Structure 1
């Protein structure tokens, strides 16, 4: 069975990708990157709980130098309401290469990423073309030719939320908000995409499937 490392932020996308992968491969490590993002405390907590729920070892890797770049994800004074405001230069490329290092060292053939077609419109490093280009690069830079796989790349948020509910994923463990706090902010770009997905699935009247509402002890 193929082995994989998953890049797990604790959000819906990476969580669903990880769970879908478990049908086909052994996920031997979940990596969460702390790059100084405002939501890092909640992301690390959520990723740890999800990894534990699915019996996957979890590790946090630091890339704090990324906080020096002017992004709404890392700067308190900057907004997270649009894709332009939350761009971090080469973030996904860096994360994938970090995970590829662990993958080769641990004998894994794949790196899992929770990309989706909705965000690929604004983020070229979420796109199929990006994955193809990265895989060509990794074929040279890893001896076992590690490759990137995304089980969610052809989905939008509504389809992902529907599938996560169908699979019984503990959405109350997830954190998809770009901000920190006791509950999701509701106004950042990520929260608004999830709110639209909930509305499309007619989940407005219940908190049962609302990500991040109540983290269990």
Structure 2
């Protein structure tokens, strides 16, 4: 997106430890962010193991890591396979129907609001998140129209306090996951040290929709997938 050129200052990124947000963190660092804060939020997701991967990424990049414990929020976010134990994680390749089970209501606005609050209070220049084109169909808060509306909203909500030229960065919003893998390869992202699986076990299950999407992205990118999956039998 043409507006996704941030000043070389302090960027607060909402991140999970997943493939997309880890690549985002490496991209921000390579693109010259003078200061990078990675905000990880435990909102009661069954795969909170992802946050340990995010912490390791922050150490590698010499970024500030903030982990917020909002695990009690899961009680407000019922109905999603990510936050509600009664809803199974759909297996296999995502369809529009099965992908709906993984929607966490209002998640990106919620997490971005936390990032913006921290950014405004510390004088940061931008917030960032890793939404990509594959999310657009089902996730309303991953679409370009959301990003533009959110930019306008926070400018009004923080008038007089927000840094001049403050940006909401979504640099991958027009990219496929395979393209993100290719970019991550150029940035030397250690993909083995990222977590995608929604089951939240000790290894990637290799069966859920997110694992299937991850496998497919590496295959389409023609990049070796270093992930250990339970379905590998190893």
TM-score normalised by length of structure 2: 0.83
Say yes or no: does 1:24 pair with 2:32. yes
Say yes or no: does 1:43 pair with 2:50. yes
2:183 to 155, 160, 163: 163
Say yes or no: does 1:78 pair with 2:95. no
Deviation at 1:181, TM superposition (A): 1.1
Query: Contact 1:174 / 1:212 at 8 angstroms: preserved in 2?
Result: no
Distance 2:229 2:123 in 1: 33
Over aligned residue pairs, what C-alpha RMSD do you find?
1.8
**Residues 27, 15 of structure 1: CA spacing in aligned structure 2 closer, same or farther, 3 A cutoff?**
farther
Query: Contact 2:10 / 2:124 at 8 angstroms: preserved in 1?
Result: yes
Say yes or no: does 1:182 pair with 2:202. yes
Query: Contact 2:15 / 2:38 at 8 angstroms: preserved in 1?
Result: yes
Query: Contact 1:176 / 1:212 at 8 angstroms: preserved in 2?
Result: no
Unaligned runs of at least 5 residues, structure 2: 1-7, 91-97
**Residues 89, 129 of structure 1: CA spacing in aligned structure 2 closer, same or farther, 3 A cutoff?**
same
TM-score normalised by length of structure 1: 0.89
Query: Contact 1:112 / 1:150 at 8 angstroms: preserved in 2?
Result: yes
Deviation at 1:47, TM superposition (A): 0.4
Distance 2:187 2:229 in 1: 17
Secondary structure in 1 matching 2:101: helix
**Residues 121, 106 of structure 1: CA spacing in aligned structure 2 closer, same or farther, 3 A cutoff?**
same
Distance 2:85 2:151 in 1: 34
Query: Contact 2:178 / 2:217 at 8 angstroms: preserved in 1?
Result: yes
Say yes or no: does 1:153 pair with 2:176. no
Q: How many residues are paired up?
A: 209
**Residues 178, 139 of structure 1: CA spacing in aligned structure 2 closer, same or farther, 3 A cutoff?**
same
Matches within 5 A, 1:199-214: 199-203=219-223, 207=225, 209-210=226-227
Query: Contact 2:205 / 2:229 at 8 angstroms: preserved in 1?
Result: no
Matches within 5 A, 1:79-118: 79-81=88-90, 82-118=98-134
Distance 1:159 1:123 in 2: 19
Runs of 4+, deviation exceeding 3 Å: none
